[in-house]
């Protein structure tokens, strides 16, 4: 019973490089979310999806893109990485609206040099 | 500006002591969730409160939702070293699709 799986777990990039973070959930959840967590700032929502083929902007969407081509997968892309995007990224899923519990992956630690 | 303000930001106590963590806002939420996060892992849901004035107990943890649904508290009785972690509150607006998280309270319980 994997729940929410994030890959990779760690990554170091140089400024300007691109990469994609993958999130997969096996709970048949409709909603999926990407957050970033920085010291003293809690979790901030980057983008989210309320179903396959849909995406919406969160609180801090600039510099990121997302895609939800399959219900179980939610991809987060950085087209041109910047040092300000150094953070821990968490993916979460929930059955439906925000009142439902969110299930989180274990995070991707990303450093941009 | 954090929509949900948590206090204190950091708490270091001895095993056996009691403590309270607060989560305050000027906004009304339809529900409020508390999560606990350990280093290297994602947050894990502890409880959801949905009714103003609601009190929920989870062993030594007591959660309360304010009457006006703008604030919440988490009280831990006789803290144990296993309670160490980051505690996050998160609020949901009615019919909302997303949660708003507080900045978190880091709790360290020393033996």
Three-state SS annotation for A34-59: EEEECCCCCEEEEEEECCCCCCEECC
How much is the average pLDDT of A76-87? 96
Task: Give residues with Cβ within 8 angstroms of B67, minimum separation 6.
Answer: B52, B53
Task: Give the tens place of pLDDT for each residue, B34-73.
Answer: 999 999 999 999 999 999 999 999 999 999 999 999 999 9
Q: Report CB contact under 8 Å: B98, A43.
A: no
Most B-contacting residue of A43, A60, A95 (CB-CB within 10 A), to test interface: A43
Please choose, from the candidates A1, A32, A14, the residue with its C-alpha nearest in 3D space to the C-alpha of residue A80. Answer: A14
| Closest chain B CA to residue A39 | B103
Q: List the structure tokens of A62.
A: 């600039």
Q: Calculate how close chain B gets to A81, using CA atoms only, in Å.
A: 23
pLDDT-derived band at A111 (thresholds 50, 70, 90) equals very high
How much is the average pLDDT of B17-40? 95
Q: Report CB contact under 8 Å: A98, B48.
A: no
How much is the average pLDDT of A60-73? 96
Q: List the structure tokens of A93.
A: 């899923």
Task: Give the tens place of pLDDT for each residue, A5-31.
Answer: 999 999 999 999 999 999 999 999 999
A29's enclosing H/E stretch is: none
Task: Give the tens place of pLDDT for each residue, B84-110.
Answer: 999 999 998 877 778 899 999 999 999
- List beta partners, residue A47: A34, A57
Question: What distance in Å separates the CA atoms of residue A32 and residue A47, rounded to the nearest whole number?
Answer: 9
How much is the average pLDDT of A62-77? 97
Question: What distance in Å separates the CA atoms of residue A58 and residue A19, rounded to the nearest whole number?
Answer: 20
In this predicted structure, what is the pLDDT of residue B2?
Answer: 59
Could you tell me if A77 lies within 8 Å of chain B, comparing CB atoms? no
In this predicted structure, what is the pLDDT of residue B93?
Answer: 82
- List beta partners, residue B49: B32
How much is the average pLDDT of B16-29? 96
A-facing residues of B in 1-60 (CB < 8 A) are: 2, 6, 9, 30-31, 33, 40-45, 48, 50
Cα A55 to Cα A25, A48, A68, A110, B86: the distances in Å are 16, 6, 7, 23, 29
Q: List the structure tokens of A66.
A: 């997302």
Decide if A21 contacts A36 (C-beta within 8 A): no
| Closest chain B CA to residue A34 | B98
In angstroms and rounded to an integer, the radius of gyration of the C-alpha atoms of chain A is 13
Three-state SS annotation for B49-108: ECCCCCEEEECCEEEEECCCCCEEEEEECCCCHHHCEEEEEEEECCCCCCEEECCCEEEE
Question: What distance in Å separates the CA atoms of residue A94 and residue B91, rounded to the nearest whole number?
Answer: 15
Average pLDDT, chain B: 93
Q: Is the pLDDT of residue A96 over 90?
A: no
CA angle A70, A72, A78 (to 5 degrees): 75
């Amino acid at each position: 019973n994997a729940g929410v799986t994030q890959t990779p777990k760690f990554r170091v990039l140089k400024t300007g490089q691109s990469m994609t973070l993958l999130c997969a959930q096996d709970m048949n959840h409709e909603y999926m979310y990407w957050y970033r967590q920085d010291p003293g700032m809690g979790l901030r929502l980057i983008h989210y999806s309320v179903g396959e083929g849909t995406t919406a902007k969160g609180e801090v969407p600039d510099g990121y893109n997302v895609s939800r081509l399959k219900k179980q997968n939610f991809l987060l892309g950085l087209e041109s990485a910047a040092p300000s995007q150094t953070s821990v990224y968490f993916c979460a899923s929930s059955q439906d609206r925000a009142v439902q519990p969110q299930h989180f992956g274990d995070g991707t630690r990303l450093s941009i040099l | 500006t954090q929509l949900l303000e948590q206090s204190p930001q950091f708490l270091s106590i001895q095993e056996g002591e009691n403590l309270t963590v607060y989560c305050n806002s000027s906004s009304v939420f339809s529900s409020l969730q508390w999560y606990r996060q350990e280093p290297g892992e994602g947050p894990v849901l502890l409880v959801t409160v949905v009714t103003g004035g609601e009190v929920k107990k989870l062993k030594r943890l007591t959660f309360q939702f304010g009457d006006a649904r703008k604030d919440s508290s988490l009280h831990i009785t006789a803290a144990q070293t296993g309670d160490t972690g980051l505690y996050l509150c998160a609020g949901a607006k009615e019919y909302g699709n997303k949660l708003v998280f507080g900045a978190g309270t880091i709790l360290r319980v020393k033996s």
